[in-house]
């Protein structure tokens, strides 16, 4: 219902054409897109996931994207709220919409078509359609080039993405996650496909994953004190990745953001999973 209402709002004419909007951006990918298009002067606030670029951190914050408060958003007097389908709760978005503020909720799936749709929509509402079209053209060209090279790679290594390893069983990414999406774009196979979302894995499940690579965020590595702490875990040491020392680390927003830097993330991850790709470019 929210997505349908957002689509209707987006398609309808509005007074936005007369003056540029005051935007609150809910979602790191949308904030990145706004900055990449050069429309950051329209931002009056962001959510706490909007950490890139660093300049975004200086803007007023309205809280975590999944736990928004209408009062905090309204205090910034926005005329347009940009959010993804991950934002909520739904009651808060409806409350904001009921005040007459335009609320545009964009799909946030974990594929490159979703990124393209977000860039195009943000370009339209910020008056940066030409810049958005150029960004989309560059991104598509990069993704098509990568896809062509991956088609020659032959094998698809099994990749185990671990989100949290600080205590207890590690949280692993299953289907329908950003990690699953970026692994596929980089020519890998998610080593966990028995469930959707993130769940804790038993040591037996880690071993059974037969992972060729362990993929983690740099934030996880820093929290654990280094890659050695990952490789020293008994279950991981019994996977091909653990035996070969194949742990790949990325900045979390670059890897999982599904925004304008996704072609870069896919390229860098593909190069780690398929070293021969670097020589065939």
Q: Domains in the chain and their CATH numbers? A: 2-140 (3.40.50.1980), 158-274 (3.40.50.1980)
DSSP state of 170: P
Q: Tokens in use for 96?
A: 């904001």
- Residues 234-265: tens digit of each pLDDT: 999 999 999 999 999 999 999 999 999 999 99
Residues above pLDDT 70, as percent of the chain:
91
Q: How many CB atoms lie within 10 A of CB 145?
A: 13
- What confidence score (pLDDT) does residue 166 get? 63
User: 258 — phi, psi (to 5°)?
Assistant: 45, 60
**23 and 44 in contact (C-beta within 8 Å)?**
yes
CA distances from 18 to 13, 21, 127 (A): 11, 9, 11
Q: Which helix (H) or strand (E) holds 65?
A: none
Tell me what the pLDDT averaged over the chain comes to: 91
In this predicted structure, what is the pLDDT of residue 170?
86
List pLDDT tens digits, range 155-202: 899 999 998 776 677 899 999 999 999 999 999 999 999 999 999 999
Torsion of CA 204, 209, 213, 215, to 10 degrees: -80
What length is written for the chain?
281
Q: What share of the chain is helix, strand, coil (3-state, %, to 5)?
A: 50, 15, 35
Rg (CA), the chain: 20
Residue 254 confidence (pLDDT): 97
| 194 Ramachandran zone, left/alpha/beta (phi>0; psi -120 to 50) | alpha
| Helix ranges (DSSP H) in the chain | 2-11, 28-36, 70-74, 90-98, 112-125, 129-151, 178-185, 203-208, 218-224, 227-231, 234-237, 240-244, 252-256, 262-273, 276-280
Is the pLDDT at 65 greater than 90? The verdict is: yes
DSSP structural state of residue 128: -
Give the global pTM: 0.89
Q: pLDDT-derived band of residue 276, with 50, 70 and 90 as boundaries?
A: confident
Q: Give the CA-trace dihedral at 196, 201, 205, 210, to 10 degrees.
A: 80
φ, ψ dihedrals at 169, nearest 5°: -70, 140
DSSP 209: T
Q: What pLDDT, on the 0 to 100 scale, is given for residue 110?
A: 96
State pLDDT tens for residues 6-64: 443 344 344 444 588 999 999 999 999 999 999 999 999 999 999 999 999 999 999 99
CB 257 within 8 A of CB 28: yes
What pLDDT, on the 0 to 100 scale, is given for residue 163? Answer: 87
């Amino acid at each position: 219902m929210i997505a349908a209402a957002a689509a209707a709002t987006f398609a309808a004419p509005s007074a936005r054409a007369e003056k540029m909007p005051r935007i609150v951006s809910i979602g790191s990918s949308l904030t990145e897109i706004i900055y990449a298009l050069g429309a950051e002067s329209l931002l009056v606030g962001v959510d706490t996931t909007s950490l890139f670029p660093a300049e975004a951190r200086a803007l007023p914050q309205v809280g975590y994207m999944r736990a928004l408060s209408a009062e905090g958003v309204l205090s910034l007097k926005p005329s347009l709220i940009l959010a993804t389908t991950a934002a909520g709760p739904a009651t808060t978005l409806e409350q904001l919409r009921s005040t007459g503020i335009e609320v545009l909720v964009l799909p946030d799936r974990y594929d490159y078509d979703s990124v393209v749709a977000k860039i195009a929509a943000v370009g339209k509402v910020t008056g940066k359609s030409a810049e958005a079209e150029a960004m989309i053209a560059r991104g598509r060209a990069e993704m098509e080039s990568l896809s062509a090279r991956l088609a020659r790679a032959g094998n698809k290594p099994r990749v185990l993405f671990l989100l949290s390893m600080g205590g207890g069983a590690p949280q692993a990414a299953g289907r329908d996650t950003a990690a699953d999406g970026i692994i596929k774009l980089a020519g890998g196979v998610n080593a966990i496909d028995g469930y959707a979302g993130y769940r804790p894995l038993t040591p037996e499940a880690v071993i059974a994953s037969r992972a060729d690579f362990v993929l983690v965020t740099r934030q996880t590595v820093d929290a654990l004190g280094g890659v050695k702490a990952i490789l020293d875990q008994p279950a991981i040491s019994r996977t091909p990745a653990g035996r070969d020392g194949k742990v790949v680390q990325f900045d979390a927003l670059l890897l999982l953001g599904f925004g304008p830097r996704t072609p870069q993330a896919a390229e860098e991850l593909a190069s780690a999973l398929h070293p021969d790709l670097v020589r065939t470019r």
